[in-house]
Amino acid sequence: MLTFAAIDIGSNSVRLKIASVEQHRLRTLHEDREVVRLGESVFQTGVISPEAMANTIRALKRFQKAVQLHVADRVRVVATSAMRDARNAAAFTAWVKSATGWNVEVISGLEEGRLIHLGVVTHEVGARGRCLLIDLGGGSCEITFSDEGRIREMVSLPLGAVRLQQEFLHGDPPAKEDVARLKQYIGRELRKAERRLGNPRVGLVIATSGTAAALAEASVALARKLPVRKAAPKRFVRIKPSVAKTAEVRRLTERLAKMNNAQRASIPGIGTRRSEIVIGGAMVYTSLLERMGLKGFRYSPLGLKDGILAQMLADVDLRASVHRKIESERWEGVLEVCKRYGVDTKKAEPVRQHAVQLYDELARVHELPVEYRLWLESAAMMQDVGKYMNHQGHNRHTQYIVANSEIFGFSPEQRAVVGAIARYMGKSRPDAVDRVMRAVPIEQHGNVMRSVVLLRLALALNQDRVSAAVRMRARVYPKRVLLELAPGRGGAELEAWSLRKEADYFREVFRRDLAVEVA
């Protein structure tokens, strides 16, 4: 039984969730969370303060004990907005590596939104229909329009609760001028969201993360006219709200903006730490709900860490339902890149088909991991995107575009692998000292090299794209591989010649001879 651990290093807090795989599903074993305010100094000075680093490291060391106790087979550590903005992010990731042995993966806002969406639609009842997802964290706000469990549109905005507090709200309570300035800023950013999302008509709005939880509980408490204490109690009787209505959120936001920190902390659901940053987040929710004509939102405790766990399950369990979803999502991302850069997918499709056929029929020869089937397909479809920039040296441009594009479902490491496979279709060959290969984990270099050979063979099989593609059959013998070609309308002589040119490199990589016969 596999056990996974997901760690979310956010701008406000760090979260841990550990789950085991049982019958192709995830069962939660342990959860933990600590407020560290990693982004507080970032949004003021552009760097993470030593105090915030130290607080986060202490929390991660505590998480590590739980991970070791549950004997997690795999740990994935993801960082978001504060780390994206911090100039000294590399120093902090190095400290985390030294203290825990974990590699921190800094993801983009859109990848953050994709993983949150994945976590919600995998588990949340009703999220498979037409809905809007809102995740307002410490540094950013991701808004996703989802339909039938698929992302239709998504936008990531710099509207995190900690960021807005640091940049706009300095008084306690905040000055009216500061509140007005913040409203203008939120309106400007939400107009960007409206241009991207339009006015999606949805019956369900799901909000995640701490600000949503606080607003939902506080708005329900005020609607029920629960007494507000003069000081924050040591322990609240928790309310478990399902829905916060827009009008209630509006009234709560107006009330919070006039209170000092102690008064905000006394409201049920907000508490002492959330009270320091809740005003900005509340104003974002009020503006967003009203501008889009939404009746309110339903709070969900699911979020980024749940999406990370679902992704890890999909990567290792091919029978899990989430695996099929992610594979489909990844392929849609590949086709979107092809469309964006003018690739003729009808011409690329025969290359993809031959690449897959070579992967399947030469499995005993290449011994590549199962995920490389998709990496090879993706490289086959996108290997011409660099021509959008320049036909000369287009393989270099292809690698740059693939490695640096936002492709749903692909992590930066996976994009580096796919880009490297597509890079070496010309005269050059993979070399560990190349800049391209240095971006690929050293343990993947051999897999990339073998994939490059397979893709080169697939391209060689498609030299004459005007005529029908040749049919191919591979036979594996102890010391050689035989490719039998059945000519298309234009014959197969050019393809056979191109394949034989790859024989030396094939022998160098696979230690077998490559023979070609035309039927």
What pLDDT shows up at residue 464? 63
Please give, one letter per residue, the 3-state secondary structure of 152-171: EEEEEECCCHHHHHHHHCCC
pLDDT of residue 201: 84
**Spatial separation of the C-alpha atoms in residues 134 and 157, rounded to whole Å:** 11
Q: How far apart are CA 396 and CA 323, in angstroms?
A: 31
First to last CA, the chain: 50
Q: Is 480 left (phi over 0), alpha (psi -120 to 50) or beta?
A: beta
Which residues of the chain fall below pLDDT 50?
A: 231-239
Strand order in the sheet with 471-476: 471-476, 480-486, 513-518
Distance (Å, rounded) from C-alpha 262 to C-alpha 230? 8
Residue % of the chain over a pLDDT of 90: 73
Strand partners, 495: none
What are the start-end ranges of the E strands in 36-139? 74-79, 104-106, 131-136
> Which residues are bridge partners to 144 per DSSP?
133, 154
pLDDT of residue 238: 45
pLDDT of residue 328: 85
Q: Which of 410, 391, 294, 415 is nearest to 342 (CA)?
A: 391
CB < 8 Å & 24+ apart, contacts of 399-408: 399/423, 399/436, 401/337, 401/341, 402/337, 403/439, 405/337, 406/108, 406/110, 406/111, 407/330, 407/333, 407/334, 407/336, 407/337, 408/110, 408/111, 408/114, 408/151, 408/329, 408/330, 408/332, 408/333, 408/336
* Nearest CA-CA partner of 53 in 65, 70, 68, 41: 41
pLDDT reported for residue 465: 55
Q: Is 390 exposed, middle or buried (0-12, 13-18, 19+ CB in 10 A)?
A: exposed
Beta strands across the sheet bearing 104-106: 25-35, 13-22, 3-9, 74-79, 104-106
Tell me the pLDDT tens digit for each residue of 378-433.
999 999 999 999 988 999 999 999 999 988 888 888 999 999 999 999 889 999 99
**φ, ψ for residue 27, nearest 5 deg:** -120, 120
- Rounded CA separation 178/355 (Å): 59
Quote the tokens at residue 230: 């003069």
Strand partners, 207: 134, 299
Rounded to whole angstroms, the Cα distance separating 104 from 270 reads: 30
Inter-residue contact 441 to 432 (CB < 8 Å): no
DSSP string, 54-77: HHHHHHHHHHHHHHHHTT-SEEEE
CB 120 within 8 Å of CB 208: yes
Report DSSP state, residue 485: E
- Which residues contact residue 23 at a Cβ distance below 8 angstroms, ignoring those fewer than 6 apart? none
- Check residue 237 and give its pLDDT: 41
pLDDT of residue 29: 96
Residue 221 tokens read as 């408490």
Handedness of CA 47, 52, 57, 59 (dihedral sign): negative
pLDDT at 420: 97
* Domain architecture of the chain: domains with CATH: 3-107+305-311 (3.30.420.40), 125-301 (3.30.420.150), 318-465 (1.10.3210.10)
What is the model's pLDDT at position 225? 63
How much is the pLDDT for 239?
Answer: 44
